[in-house]
């Protein structure tokens, strides 16, 4: 990647804001009312965010499958400004039966049908970025990724990504996609660092790495500073929130990292986006790396 400001990154051939919006909290357990959710999406757009991450499985009951995708489509349609540069990334392969559980279906048939349904809910000619959500032990990985490749070849999706993948799966997916894998979305946060190898691999391959739950997840994000003293201390020194510092730390790790913090309130996504203006020294990054 060419020298870049902290404000933008690339996913495939698309330039996006260096911080994205993870929209899941607006549609699962504890979700807010629609008015606040749409206000949050609009606040993200106002701030300059041009990447919104969703999935067909972000819903509560068996009757509101795709709730999050429909919500995003409604928010984009009702936004007063230009949204032509907004990349909506969705996923398929996870299923929520409606009893609170998460199950898997990576069969090619399901992936094809799920993508078609997502396409309709998002109201687009082609999905900007479609990601295989999570490996399904019942389905060979190459079959699941092959279904995504078929969507790409058919023009139903513009770019292809994977999620919750290990280094071997990343290499395999990129091979199956003919070198067209543009993103890997894995869990990564101060408390969850076991995906460092995937981050480093993406950096070496020039593939975007999208940390999900970068602040520790819905229930833990508010306690990030208390649980990680080094982040609390440096954030206090810099006069910023531990959450903002965490995202700045991730941005400093690689020019291919694009965090997607979940949010359901305008003020939290504004604070997250402000991380693009927080530039850390190599010494400060090293302290947080070692914490």
Q: Residues with catalytic annotation?
A: 58
For the stretch 51-77, what's the b/e string if a residue is b when 16 or more beta carbons lie within 10 angstroms of its beta carbon? bbbbbbbbbbeeeebbbbbbbbbbbbe
**Cβ–Cβ under 8 Å, residues 17 and 27:** no
- Beta-carbon contacts of 99 under 8 Å, excluding residues fewer than 6 positions away, are none
Residue 115 DSSP SS3:
helix
- Specify the DSSP class assigned to residue 214: T
* Beta strand pairing call for 51-53 and 103-104: unpaired
Pairing of strands 181-187, 160-163: parallel
Q: Which residue in this structure is represented by tokens 């229930």?
A: 219
Please give the Cα distance from 115 to 111 (Å, whole number). 6
Q: Where are the alpha helices (DSSP H) in 65-217?
A: 67-78, 108-122, 141-153, 167-176, 196-205
Task: Return the bridge partners of 129, or none.
Answer: 89
Distances (CA, A) of 146 to 69, 155, 173, 200: 23, 14, 8, 25
| 242-253 vs 282-290: helix crossing angle, rounded to 10 | 110
- Listed as own residue / partner, the contacts of 62-66 with beta carbons closer than 8 Å and 24 or more positions apart are 62/96, 62/97, 62/98, 63/98, 65/96, 65/117, 66/117, 66/118, 66/121
């Amino acid at each position: 990647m060419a020298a870049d400001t902290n404000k933008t990154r690339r996913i495939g051939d698309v330039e996006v804001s260096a911080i994205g919006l993870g929209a899941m909290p607006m549609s699962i357990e504890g979700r807010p009312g629609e008015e606040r959710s749409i206000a949050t999406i609009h606040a993200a757009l106002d701030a300059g965010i041009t990447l919104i991450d969703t999935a067909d499985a972000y819903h509560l009951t068996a009757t509101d499958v795709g709730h999050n995708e429909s919500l995003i489509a409604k928010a984009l349609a009702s936004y007063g400004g230009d949204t032509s540069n907004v990349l909506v990334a969705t996923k398929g392969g996870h299923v929520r039966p409606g009893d609170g559980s998460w199950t898997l279906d990576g069969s090619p048939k399901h992936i094809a049908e799920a993508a078609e349904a997502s396409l309709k809910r998002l109201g687009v000619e082609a999905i900007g970025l479609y990601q295989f959500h999570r490996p399904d032990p019942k389905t060979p990985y190459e079959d699941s990724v092959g279904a995504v490749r078929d969507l790409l070849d058919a023009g139903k999706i513009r770019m292809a990504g994977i999620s919750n993948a290990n280094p071997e799966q990343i290499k395999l997916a990129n091979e199956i996609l003919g070198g067209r894998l543009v993103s890997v979305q894995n869990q990564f946060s101060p408390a969850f660092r076991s995906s460092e190898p995937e981050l480093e691999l993406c950096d070496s391959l020039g593939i975007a790495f999208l940390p999900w739950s970068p602040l520790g997840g819905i229930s833990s994000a508010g306690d990030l500073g208390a649980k990680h003293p080094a982040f609390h201390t440096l954030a206090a020194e810099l006069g910023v929130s531990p959450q903002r510092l965490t995202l700045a730390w991730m941005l400093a790790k690689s020019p291919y990292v694009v965090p997607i913090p979940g949010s359901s309130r305008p003020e939290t996504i504004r604070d997250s986006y402000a991380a693009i203006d927080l530039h850390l020294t190599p010494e400060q990054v090293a302290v947080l790396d070692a914490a």
